[in-house]
Chains A and B, each alone.
Chain A
Amino acid sequence: MYLYDQYDQAMVDARVAEFRDQAQRRLDGKLSEDQFKPLRLMNGLYLQLHAYMLRVAIPYGTLSSRQMHALADIADKYDRGYGHFTTRQNIQYNWIKLEEAADILADLAKVEMHAIQTSGNCIRNISSDHFAGAAADEVTDPRPYAELLRQWSSFHPEFAYLPRKFKICVIASDRDRAAMKLHDIGIQIVEKDGEMGAAFYVGGGMGRTPMIAPCIKDFVPLDRLVSYAEACLRVYNRYGRRDNKYKARIKILVHEMGADAYAKEVDEEFAHLLDQGVEPPFAELERIRTFFEDPAFAAAGADDEIDRSDPDFALWVDRNTHAHKADGYVSAVVSLKPVGGIPGDATAEQMHLMADLARDYSFDELRVMHTQNIVLPHVRKSDLHKLWTALDEAGLGTPNLDRIGDIIACPGLDYCSLANARSIPLAQKISQRFADNGKEETLGELKLKISGCINACGHHHAGHIGILGVDRKGTENYQLLLGGSEAEDTSLAKITGPGFTEDGVVDAIETVSDLYLSSRVEGERFIDTYRRIGMTPFKEALYG
Chain B
Amino acid sequence: MADPQYPAEGGLGQGHDEVQLRYRDDELVDHASVTVDSFLAQSNASAVRIEPGDDTRELLRHLERIRLVEVNFPSFGDGRGYSAARILRESGYDGEIRAVGDVLVDQIAYMRRCGFDAFAPERPLNESDVEAALNRFPHVYQAAADSRTPIWNLRHGDAA
Report which A residues bind B (CB closer than 8 A): 5, 7-8, 10-11, 14-15, 17-18, 21, 38-39, 121, 151-152, 154-162, 226, 234, 237-238, 242, 272-273, 276-278, 280-281, 283-284, 287
Q: 28 A-B contacts, Cβ less than 8 Å apart? A: A7-B154, A7-B155, A8-B151, A10-B139, A11-B138, A11-B139, A11-B151, A14-B137, A17-B136, A18-B136, A38-B106, A39-B106, A121-B77, A152-B142, A154-B141, A155-B137, A157-B111, A157-B114, A158-B82, A158-B144, A159-B82, A161-B77, A161-B107, A273-B90, A276-B90, A283-B156, A284-B155, A287-B156
Q: Is the Cβ of A161 less than 8 Å from the Cβ of B142? A: no
Complex CA–CA separation, A281 to B151 (angstroms): 11
Q: Is the Cβ of B139 less than 8 Å from the Cβ of A7? A: yes
Also in contact, A237 and B142, with CB within 8 A (given A7-B154, A157-B113, A160-B110): no
Q: Is the Cβ of A242 less than 8 Å from the Cβ of B113? A: no
Chain B residues whose CB sits within 8 angstroms of the CB of A273 once the complex forms: 90
List 18 additional A-B contacts (Cβ < 8 Å) besides A157-B142, A242-B52. A7-B139, A7-B154, A11-B139, A11-B141, A17-B136, A38-B106, A39-B106, A151-B142, A154-B141, A157-B114, A157-B140, A160-B110, A161-B107, A237-B82, A277-B143, A280-B152, A284-B156, A287-B156
Q: Is the Cβ of A281 less than 8 Å from the Cβ of B83? A: no
Q: Is the Cβ of B151 less than 8 Å from the Cβ of A161? A: no
Tell me if B6 counts as interface (CB < 8 A to partner A). no
Q: Is the Cβ of A278 less than 8 Å from the Cβ of B143? A: yes
Chain B residues whose CB sits within 8 angstroms of the CB of A277 once the complex forms: 143
Residue on A nearest B150 in the bound complex, by CB: A280
Task: Classify chain B: how many residues form its interface, as a range.
Answer: 20 to 34
Q: Is the Cβ of A238 less than 8 Å from the Cβ of B143? A: no
Tell me if B153 counts as interface (CB < 8 A to partner A). yes
Q: Is the Cβ of B90 less than 8 Å from the Cβ of A155? A: no
Q: Is the Cβ of B152 less than 8 Å from the Cβ of A234? A: no
User: How near does chain A come to B153, taking the closest CB pair, in angstroms?
Assistant: 6
Residue on A nearest B106 in the bound complex, by CB: A39
Residue from B78, B83, B152, B153 having most chain A Cβ neighbours under 10 A: B152
CB neighbors of A among B22-39 (8 A): none
Q: Is the Cβ of B152 less than 8 Å from the Cβ of A151? A: yes
Chain B residues whose CB sits within 8 angstroms of the CB of A161 once the complex forms: 76-79, 82, 107
Q: Is the Cβ of B156 less than 8 Å from the Cβ of A238? A: no
User: How near does chain B come to A446, taking the closest CB pair, in angstroms?
Assistant: 41
Chain A residues whose CB sits within 8 angstroms of the CB of B76 once the complex forms: 38, 161
Report which B residues bind A (CB closer than 8 A): 52, 76-80, 82-83, 86, 90, 106-107, 109-111, 113-114, 132, 136-144, 150-156
Chain A residues whose CB sits within 8 angstroms of the CB of B79 once the complex forms: 121, 158-162, 237
Chain A residues whose CB sits within 8 angstroms of the CB of B154 once the complex forms: 7
Q: Is the Cβ of B90 less than 8 Å from the Cβ of A272? A: yes
User: How near does chain A come to B4, taking the closest CB pair, in angstroms?
Assistant: 19
Q: Is the Cβ of A278 less than 8 Å from the Cβ of B137? A: no
Chain A residues whose CB sits within 8 angstroms of the CB of B141 once the complex forms: 11, 151-152, 154-156
User: How near does chain B come to A265, taking the closest CB pair, in angstroms?
Assistant: 11
Complex CA–CA separation, A79 to B11 (angstroms): 54
Chain B residues whose CB sits within 8 angstroms of the CB of A152 once the complex forms: 141-142
Chain B residues whose CB sits within 8 angstroms of the CB of A159 once the complex forms: 79, 82
User: How near does chain A come to B95, taking the closest CB pair, in angstroms?
Assistant: 19
Of B82, B107, B138, B155, the residue contacting A10 (CB under 8 A) is B138
Chain A residues whose CB sits within 8 angstroms of the CB of B137 once the complex forms: 11, 14-15, 155
User: How near does chain B come to A407, taking the closest CB pair, in angstroms?
Assistant: 35
Chain B residues whose CB sits within 8 angstroms of the CB of A157 once the complex forms: 82, 109-111, 113-114, 140, 142, 144
Complex CA–CA separation, A254 to B94 (angstroms): 33
Complex CA–CA separation, A157 to B155 (angstroms): 20
